[in-house]
Chains A and B, each alone.
Chain A
Amino acid sequence: MDYVHLRRQAASLRKGLFDQGYLDEQFYQLEDLQDDASPNFVEEVVTLFFRDSARLMANIDQALDKCVKDFNKLDVYMQQLKGSCTSIGASRMKTDCSAFRECCRDENIEGCMRSFQKIKREHSVLRQKLESYFQLLRQAGPVECATRPNK
């Protein structure tokens, strides 16, 4: 059936995300929490993440644009963003957030900007991939929810 194919696709997409370091073990936790009571938990959380992170990133953008070099503020924003990334297991983004915070500590505005660009890219890529993944899952039918990788 096509469902099988779709599911396989979804699984491989998912595996790819883990293999490429976009996601880490925390994502398993999310998946574990998904059950009959909350069948779309993972997708809900991820959606929430992207919405909230977009907001945070807009704030950071604004702060950087102002060129006021308020590193403390930037650091606070980034800490929040990092917290969110950690919660869903967005591993690469988390690393980039740490790098950004380092630049803040060093008061390296250039570094901050570069780092932030990277974060934005990662963010966008992750979003795309996860959206595809969930779409596949939906298409593949409710039979199979997110499954643990057979690692």
Chain B
Amino acid sequence: MRVQEGINSMAGADQFPIGMRVLAVDDDPVCLKLLENLLLRCQYHVTTTNQAVEALKLLRENKDRFDLVISDVIMPDMDGFKLLELVGLEMDLPVIMLSGNGGTENVMKGITHGACDYLLKPVRLEELKNIWQHVVRRKFRHRERNTNLSTEDPEFDKLPNSNPSHAQGQHGQNSSSDNSGRYSKKRKDQNEPEEEDGEDNGYDNEEPDPSAQKKPRVVWSVELHRKFVAAVNQLGIDKAVPKRILELMNVEKLTRENVASHLQKYRLYLKRLSAVASQQASLAAAFGARDPSSYLRMGMFEGLQSYHPLASSSQIPSSLTSFQATGGPLLNRSNPATLGLPGLSPSLSNNSLSSNPLNELNKFQLVNLPGNSYHANLLHDQLPSELSFSNVTNNALLPQTSQDCMQPRQSAVAATSFHAKPITFENRCLTKAENQSLEIPSSSNDIFLGRDIKCQSSIFNEESKLLSFGGASQNNTKLQWRQDDLHESTLLLSSYLDSQLPNNSCNTMADPVTIAATGSGMVQGLNGGVFNQREGVATSGIIGSSISGLTAMTNHDSQLKQREEYNLGVQKVQGGYGSNGCSMDGLLNSVIKMERDDISYSDGDIGCDLYPLGACM
């Protein structure tokens, strides 16, 4: 009856699977108790909860707290499949579904949502004895990816060069995937065998012993990301190959692999944006589509900062995709900034946190705010990456973006610098509202608009500051970004804004944020406090605040709703960040939490994080 002891090479010297930490979720107390005991009998470490919401909270609090999640399908507070998706995206943990219904349809649904396994009730001990395999499998996959990262990247890089059509197809595949995170993983898996053949060749050229040496992690600062996005935009997203991008970027010590993995994330991010965008489309339409770009902007910066190749990449891509969809045009528009964003997304998604929380938020809350929601959604999904992208992507872009800001979405993305993101975002939203007859509270709009303009310029100025900020805390930000929670970025932003804005105009900019935040109650947390908490957090704070601010501003009605929704999660954030108050808190919280979780991802190559995110494949 006891699980065999120790063993696994993956686990190393410890006695895995003994002591494997499982989180069990089931609303039926009888089943839950039974499950708990069965798991204890397998010598696992068990935590139980009968609420999916609670489970998510536990998972987000500490990403490393659990190795595996077992969840019932039918639960009153949240659909089991939804929980499954979120966990897969945000935390990249294996999830096993439990159900009394073993119909093919249900099982299929479980698998498509990323479940590692699907068990029927009543669960038997023998079945539970083997669930540790899913944890191992995932670790193996991650390790493989990490090891092969250098090899893969060159391959990845090579493919476009040597076989453009093939590469394109692959990329195309990747982007067309509806489950970006997972898909990217899949694609990677598919690529691996293909690449392995030529691997040696490429490899030797690039790095003599990639697997053996641990490459120092490249921190994708705002500046760097901006260059990256500029290069990508210049080449065209479809034709952007790592080698060319690298050439265009002309950054010392940046390798093609770095660019390749960053590009991968970026693509995922874009995908995610479009997915989010489509979600937000209706909302945005209502509001007249505030600037998605502003969201992007916000996210971009963050994304850059925390461009860890976080496992959560899968998350981000989806958000990015959706974002794109909504913004539709946002991403696809000529605005280079937007292009840049997608890149961020991947990184964001890596953080996995951002996308998820955002998505979640979006779903819950954005509905009401036409403009805000859109933004919010954007923020959620994309903030981390998007914002950072916009800012970072292109110094050159910035000027454009500010102009763009006035334009629907796209501009927003590019224009704002890190600081600006939140503010710009808001401002832009307002601006757009005005231009597009969005329903924005006039009073707030005015304020923002005015500031917006000022901010824009100041934003740029600040950007350098931001960048440096990002640079300094790159590591931190990276981590944060990983969280991919908007909250984080928001917080960061706000805090950063607060602490960093030397420029008067910047301060002005901050004001809008503050204003917005105030409206939503978010801003408070942003200032200072957030910043100090986590390097990355500052960013998110800002974003979060901006998001909330926007939300608050744009739509009073929706604000209420949003705020309420945000407030759900907000409370938590508040603690960390001071008075976020707004609904953003929830976002922020998640972001922040994610950050913490993401920190574990920081080591290793950039590229590796992408993979873990995918669902259990």
Q: Point out residues on A near B: beta carbons under 8 Å.
A: 26, 29-30, 32-33, 37-38, 41, 44-45, 48-49, 52, 76, 79-80, 82-84, 86-89
Q: How far is the CA of A27 from the CA of B121 in the complex (A)?
A: 13
Min CB gap B188→A, angstroms: 38
Which B residues lie within 8 Å of A82 (CB)?
A: 100
Beyond A45-B33, A52-B28, list 15 extra A-B contacts (CB 8 Å): A29-B34, A32-B125, A33-B41, A45-B30, A48-B33, A80-B74, A82-B100, A83-B31, A83-B100, A84-B28, A84-B30, A86-B121, A87-B34, A88-B30, A88-B34
B6 is an interface residue with CB less than 8 A from chain A? no
Q: How far is the CA of A89 from the CA of B1 in the complex (A)?
A: 20
Select the residue from A29, A30, A76, A83 with max chain B CB neighbours within 10 A. A83
Q: A30-B34, A48-B33, A87-B121 are in contact. Are A80 and B41 (CB under 8 A)?
A: no
Which A residues lie within 8 Å of B122 (CB)?
A: 26, 29, 86-87, 89
Q: Are A87 and B37 in contact (CB under 8 A)?
A: no
Which A residues lie within 8 Å of B30 (CB)?
A: 45, 48-49, 52, 83-84, 87-88
Which chain B residues in 100-149 approach chain A with CB under 8 Å? 100-101, 121-122, 124-125
What are 24 A-B pairs with beta-carbon distances under 8 A? A29-B34, A29-B38, A29-B125, A32-B125, A33-B34, A33-B125, A38-B37, A45-B34, A48-B29, A48-B30, A48-B33, A49-B30, A52-B28, A52-B30, A83-B31, A83-B100, A83-B121, A86-B100, A86-B121, A86-B122, A87-B28, A87-B30, A88-B30, A89-B122
Q: How far is the CA of A88 from the CA of B122 in the complex (A)?
A: 8
Min CB gap B33→A, angstroms: 6
Min CB gap B110→A, angstroms: 16
Q: How far is the CA of A52 from the CA of B30 in the complex (A)?
A: 8
Q: Point out residues on B near A: beta carbons under 8 Å.
A: 1, 27-31, 33-34, 37-38, 40-41, 74, 100-101, 121-122, 124-125
Min CB gap B128→A, angstroms: 11
Q: Which of B31, B74, B125 contacts A87 (CB 8 A)?
A: B31
Q: How far is the CA of A80 from the CA of B32 in the complex (A)?
A: 13
Q: A33-B37, A33-B41 are in contact. Are A52 and B29 (CB under 8 A)?
A: yes
Q: How far is the CA of A60 from the CA of B101 in the complex (A)?
A: 20
Which A residues lie within 8 Å of B29 (CB)?
A: 48, 52
Q: Are B28 and A33 in contact (CB under 8 A)?
A: no
Q: How far is the CA of A127 from the CA of B286 in the complex (A)?
A: 57
Nearest residue, chain B, Cβ from A86: B122
Min CB gap A30→B, angstroms: 7
Q: Which of B1, B31, B34, B100 contacts A79 (CB 8 A)?
A: B100
Q: Are B38 and A33 in contact (CB under 8 A)?
A: yes
Q: Are A29 and B121 in contact (CB under 8 A)?
A: no
Q: How far is the CA of A38 from the CA of B34 in the complex (A)?
A: 12
Q: Are A44 and B33 in contact (CB under 8 A)?
A: yes
Q: How far is the CA of A37 from the CA of B40 in the complex (A)?
A: 10
Q: How far is the CA of A49 from the CA of B33 in the complex (A)?
A: 10
Min CB gap B36→A, angstroms: 10
Which B residues lie within 8 Å of A29 (CB)?
A: 34, 38, 122, 124-125
Q: How far is the CA of A110 from the CA of B610 in the complex (A)?
A: 56
Select the residue from A33, A87, A88 with max chain B CB neighbours within 10 A. A87
Which A residues lie within 8 Å of B28 (CB)?
A: 52, 80, 83-84, 87
Which B residues lie within 8 Å of A76 (CB)?
A: 74
Min CB gap B402→A, angstroms: 53
10 closest cross-chain pairs (CB), A and B: A83-B100, A84-B30, A33-B37, A49-B30, A87-B31, A87-B30, A87-B122, A26-B122, A86-B122, A87-B34
Nearest residue, chain A, Cβ from B74: A79
Q: How far is the CA of A83 from the CA of B102 in the complex (A)?
A: 12
Q: How far is the CA of A80 from the CA of B101 in the complex (A)?
A: 11
Min CB gap B97→A, angstroms: 14
Nearest residue, chain A, Cβ from B37: A33
Q: Are A84 and B37 in contact (CB under 8 A)?
A: no
Q: How far is the CA of A26 from the CA of B33 in the complex (A)?
A: 14
Q: How far is the CA of A45 from the CA of B122 in the complex (A)?
A: 14
Which B residues lie within 8 Å of A80 (CB)?
A: 27-28, 74
Q: How far is the CA of A89 from the CA of B28 in the complex (A)?
A: 15
Which A residues lie within 8 Å of B40 (CB)?
A: 37
Min CB gap A73→B, angstroms: 12
Which B residues lie within 8 Å of A86 (CB)?
A: 100, 121-122
Which A residues lie within 8 Å of B101 (CB)?
A: 79
Which A residues lie within 8 Å of B31 (CB)?
A: 83-84, 87
Nearest residue, chain A, Cβ from B40: A37
Nearest residue, chain A, Cβ from B120: A86
Min CB gap A33→B, angstroms: 5
Nearest residue, chain B, Cβ from A46: B30
Q: How far is the CA of A151 from the CA of B101 in the complex (A)?
A: 30
Q: How far is the CA of A45 from the CA of B29 in the complex (A)?
A: 9
Nearest residue, chain B, Cβ from A30: B34
Min CB gap B345→A, angstroms: 37
Which A residues lie within 8 Å of B27 (CB)?
A: 80
Min CB gap B18→A, angstroms: 15
Min CB gap B50→A, angstroms: 11
Nearest residue, chain B, Cβ from A90: B30
Min CB gap B102→A, angstroms: 12
Nearest residue, chain B, Cβ from A55: B29
Q: How far is the CA of A82 from the CA of B99 in the complex (A)?
A: 11
Q: How far is the CA of A38 from the CA of B39 in the complex (A)?
A: 13
Min CB gap A44→B, angstroms: 7
Nearest residue, chain B, Cβ from A33: B37
Which A residues lie within 8 Å of B100 (CB)?
A: 79, 82-83, 86
